[in-house]
Amino acid sequence: MSLTNLKLKDPVILSKTAELLKAKHFKNICMITNLLYSMAKLHYKQTDDAWIAASIDIILKEPVIDRVTACRNLWNLQALDYRSDVAIKRFCETIVASDGAKLGEIDIANALCSLAHF
């Protein structure tokens, strides 16, 4: 997250991160979620979205996804302008099945914005 906080958009670091995501180097879904967030906040784009697809694939293989991760990844998909109907459905199901009282206003707003985007 330090790159995002510093607003440091280093193309070499971002490209290497995308390569590692594409190679499925990272296994922890919280780490993957945070990397996707950083890439989105820094407006990283590639002609090939395989790095996003690989990241979403790892997240979807997780047996249980918590509501915060679901909300954040809905935002990530929207910010990266990457549509995955399977991921959107799974994240929405997770949010609906969770305790609504524990959802923050920002989580709800981001999820709705993401759904409106797609």
User: What separation in angstroms does the CA of 28 have from each of 7, 41, 69, 95?
Assistant: 24, 20, 12, 20
Which residue is listed with tokens 């590639």?
Answer: 46
State the 10-residue block means of pLDDT for the chain, 118 residues long: 62 93 96 96 92 98 94 95 96 90 84 88
- Residues 28-53 as b/e (b if ≥16 CB within 10 A, e otherwise) read ebeebbbbbbbbbbbebeeeebebbe
How far, in Å, are 2, 13, 46, 56 from residue 9 at the CA level?
A: 11, 8, 14, 23
Q: pTM of the entire structure?
A: 0.87
